[in-house]
Amino acid sequence: MKTQDQKGRKWSRYKARRQEYSESDANQSHDESCTEFPGNKYRELELTNDALHGHLTLSRKLQKAVNQLRDDKAAEAQREFEKQRKKIKAELSSERAQNCILAEELVRQTRSLEQCQIACQADEELLRRLQSQCYELRAQRAEAELQLVEFEGDNRRATDRTREELVARVNQCLRGYTL
């Protein structure tokens, strides 16, 4: 590929030759230049060259604009990407912190649940023992009530017997005084 300087030098040489030809054409009469084939060809080539040069200049400007637009869009996309990356990084950091907090809360709740389950099992065991003791105490109470009824019956009989004996003695004593 030719560098920009090489292209510039070539263009300068071309312009110098063109000016030489223009001066020589100016010296020739109009009729001569029109009838000469090489002069017309030269003019056509010169016009074509000027058009191509204009086209090249326009193409370079367009390419430069396209490159600038591409670079601007790439820079904008990079900025947007960095912005989104920072946002996502912040959200991820926030979610990680939230996950840590939730994990700690889960551990705390799990321990609390385990303690509650242990307490429930202890309460159920205590309830079973208390119910068992209650049944035993009810049985003992029923047995004590039976013994009490039996004792009261024995006591009544003993009281009745003692009263009868006392009445019999008092009567006997009274009979001894009345005689």
111 part of a folded domain: yes
Q: Domain range holding 39?
A: 30-178
What's the pLDDT at 175? 81
> Is 60 exceeded by the pLDDT of residue 27?
no
Our count of domains for the chain comes to 1
pLDDT attached to residue 88: 96
Confidence of residue 7 (pLDDT cuts 50, 70, 90): low
Please check whether residue 18 lies inside any domain of the structure.
no
Helix, strand, coil percent content, the chain, rounded in steps of 5? 95, 0, 5
Cβ burial of 25 (10 Å; 0-12, 13-18, 19+) is: middle
In a domain, 148, yes or no: yes
Q: Which two tokens stand for residue 136?
A: 């035993």
pLDDT-derived band at 117 (thresholds 50, 70, 90) equals very high
In a domain, 2, yes or no: no
Predicted local distance difference test score (pLDDT) of residue 31: 45
- Give 35-93 pLDDT, tens digit per residue: 455 668 888 898 999 999 999 999 999 999 999 999 999 999 999 999 999 999 999 99
Question: Would you state the structure tokens that stand for residue 57, as one six-digit string?
Answer: 């200049």
pLDDT tens-digit map of 135-169: 999 999 999 999 999 999 988 888 888 888 888 88
Tell me if 97 is assigned to some domain.
Answer: yes
Q: Report the chain's C-alpha Rg in angstroms.
A: 65
Average pLDDT over residues 92-110: 96
